[in-house]
Chain A
Amino acid sequence: MKTLATIYKEFLLLIRDPGGLALIFIMPLALVMVMALVQDAPFRDYQEIKLDVLFVDQDGDSLSAKVKQAFDASPNVNLVVKTDTTEAKQLVRSGAFKAAIVIPAHSSETLREKTRQLIVEVFSNFGLTEAPKDSVDLAAIGIKVLFDPAIKSNYKQTLTGGIQKIVAGIQAEWILDELQNQLSEGRSDVKKTPVNLTEIIQVNEQYASEKKYEGLMLNSVQHNVPAWTMFAMFFILYPLAGNFIKEREEGSMLRLRLISGSQFPVISGKFAFYFLVCLLQFVLMIAVGIYIMPLLGLSKLVLGTNIIGILLVACSVAMAATGYGVLIAVYFRTPQQALSFGSVSVVILSAIGGVWVPVYVMPEILQTLSRFSPMSWGLEAFNDLFLRQASIQTILPNVLRLTGFSLVALFISVIIHKSRTIL
């Protein structure tokens, strides 16, 4: 009954505190939307790259046609055809385009001739034909790729790698084609097999997730909604510690300390109330991810199938956040100390926990440190559930870490509180 009375009292205090309400509910909702929008482009950079690339075709033959065809089929490149190399260079230099591919004149002709020379040489080595007498040493075909100096290195690698792959494929196809030409010795009755190497080996990209969620990957919404939800939940320490210390300073805490048997209900009531507030924050933020994010042109948050697992992780994160808030409230003697330390520590825990940017893009030392951040445990568990459709067994270690963190924080709080109290 005393704990329920404390929960109700905390409820009344909160609903009469517009600043606290805004801090707990409005600010996090705004924060998650802004961060998801801001980080949408960087996430697409990594995963949904779509480059506008100039294509200068001075060859006008089959090689340039094949290169163009291959890039046209690529989801990551949007080719814009130009005829003038100087103009293309100018456009790339100005930053209007990230890159330009220049296929020099006579490239197809040179490739054809080099291929023919190669096959003839091979045949003559095996004594199948006479050694060529008029062989001309042709220069290598110089396909040029011009880059904007501001281009990210991963874009550059993607584009260069793509061109090399396409050219290697074309080269292999033409060698095989020339091989058939040489073997048929100009006979028209020999049927030539059309060469298409992509039919021999195919590389299929797939995500190791359930069929229903195939193609679902970490995007701005999938990362930011759980990440900033946890950040907001840990910021519960602000109203929690603020009210706790205010009560201590105003004297109502002293009155409660004088009431026999009121210590446990006071702490447990505060803990229970703010735990429920954290869960409400979680529900609201998830609802924003599902219903509001698509209205902003972002992806819809996908929760996966394990609803019980999600509740379990949400409860353990809420426990960890509230336990941390109680510890800060009890340990520090003034609101200034508590709120300054509390907010800075939450920012640090969130940064190393992968809230701002995913842990895998951090330096190794931070990746090691992130193992000690409760936000990292929570985020990992949410990613397991949302993206990998993990079972309860998979998320259990992180749930236990979060719960353990909460219990340790509460235990220390009780010891500190007792040491500063009474007989």
Chain B
Amino acid sequence: MSTSAVHLINLTKQYPHSTKPAVSNLTLHIPEGAVYGLLGPNGAGKSTTVMMLCGLMRPDAGTVNVLGMDMQEQSVEIRKKIGVASQDIALFPTLTAYENLFYFGRMYGMSGSMIRQQIDKYLHVFGLTEKSKKIVHTFSGGMKRRLNLMAALLHQPKLVILDEPTAGVDVQSRNMILDFLTLLKSEGTTIIYSSHVLEEAERICSHLGVIDEGKFITEGTLVDIMNTHSDCQSLEQLFLKLTGKNIRD
């Protein structure tokens, strides 16, 4: 068995005033270097799982082990090694791109020279060098999304968690982001990728987990899952087969 980047064992979480658990006895193993697609309809339990994985929420039961460390005991160490790009644009709109990145670099505890080096690298990779001195609220949706991703990567995390990283961006920006994620994968970084755009997941993910009503309904490598459901021509067909066609709230 390969080394685990993430190992969740019997994870359970029920919100107060809720009649059923958001996540129920969830067990998951993500090998190092994998790009793991965490898929599921709205309200399936993806965000709750990710929050527990990041240490933002305490599980009612079960254990969270990230990069070989237990979340209960070593959350500080774990958070130094993970980068999270949430669906929301988590930036300061009245700061420039450079000021935003420099501030987050400082908060990661990086030195000034290291921050500058990383900023220059990512500005170049994501095509924002020319815009680095511009105020963020003047950026297009795609530019903000790229910058949001850069802020999660500055400190060179070993595990990157991405929630809808391409939401609201144009085709070019989406392509640039996916190309970069492929590059990141080739460098051995583990990526957890949560998205509703299944063709993107099909393009970059090595492993998949489809979650519904707080439980995995299928989980494994993309190849194995597609082979098991050979009647499905695409991931979207598979997804609808497993989760049904009923609209979710």
Over the window 32-68 of chain B, the binary record of Cβ atoms lying under 8 Å from chain A Cβ atoms (1 yes, 0 no) is 0000000000000000000000111110000000000
A interface bracket (residues with beta carbon within 8 Å of B): 20 to 34
A258/B135 in contact, CB under 8 A? no
Closest chain-B Cβ to A272's Cβ sits at a distance in Å of 15
The listed residue with most A CB atoms (<10 A of its CB), out of B86, B95, B107, B152, is B107
Report if A252 contacts B (CB, 8 A): yes
Q: Which residues of B contact A84 (CB under 8 A)?
A: none
Cα A262 to Cα B89 in complex, Å, equals: 19
Q: Which of B128-146 contact A (CB under 8 A)?
A: 135
Report if A423 contacts B (CB, 8 A): yes
Report if B5 contacts A (CB, 8 A): no
Q: Which of B66-97 contact A (CB under 8 A)?
A: 71-72, 75-80, 82, 84, 86, 88-95
Closest chain-A Cβ to B126's Cβ sits at a distance in Å of 17
B79/A259 in contact, CB under 8 A? yes
Cα A421 to Cα B57 in complex, Å, equals: 8
Q: Which of A239-253 contact B (CB under 8 A)?
A: 247, 250-252
Q: Which residues of A contact B89 (CB under 8 A)?
A: 250-251
Q: Which of B98-106, B185-193, B219-227 contacts A (4 or more CB under 8 A)?
A: B98-106
Q: Which residues of B contact A421 (CB under 8 A)?
A: 56
Closest chain-A Cβ to B162's Cβ sits at a distance in Å of 13
Report if A66 contacts B (CB, 8 A): no
Cα A250 to Cα B109 in complex, Å, equals: 23
Report if A186 contacts B (CB, 8 A): no
Cα A31 to Cα B98 in complex, Å, equals: 38
A258/B84 in contact, CB under 8 A? yes
Cα A262 to Cα B104 in complex, Å, equals: 10
Report if B108 contacts A (CB, 8 A): yes
B90/A252 in contact, CB under 8 A? yes
B79/A12 in contact, CB under 8 A? no
The listed residue with most B CB atoms (<10 A of its CB), out of A8, A255, A261, is A255
Q: Which residues of A contact B8 (CB under 8 A)?
A: none
A251/B55 in contact, CB under 8 A? no
The listed residue with most B CB atoms (<10 A of its CB), out of A5, A259, A423, is A423
Closest chain-A Cβ to B136's Cβ sits at a distance in Å of 10
Q: Which of A1-56 contact B (CB under 8 A)?
A: 1-2, 5-6, 8-9, 12-13, 16-17
Q: Which residues of B contact A139 (CB under 8 A)?
A: none
Cα A17 to Cα B151 in complex, Å, equals: 23
Q: Which residues of A contact B94 (CB under 8 A)?
A: 12-13, 16-17
Which residue from chain A places its CB closest to the CB of B80 in the assembled complex?
A260
A258/B103 in contact, CB under 8 A? no
The listed residue with most B CB atoms (<10 A of its CB), out of A1, A251, A260, is A260
Instruction: List 6 additional contacts besides A2-B107, A5-B103, A5-B106; criterion CB under 8 Å.
Output: A9-B103, A250-B89, A250-B91, A260-B77, A266-B107, A422-B75
Q: What is A's interface to B at a CB cutoff of 8 Å? A: 1-2, 5-6, 8-9, 12-13, 16-17, 247, 250-252, 254-262, 265-266, 421-423
5 interchain residue pairs of minimum CB distance: A251-B88, A251-B90, A5-B106, A260-B79, A255-B90
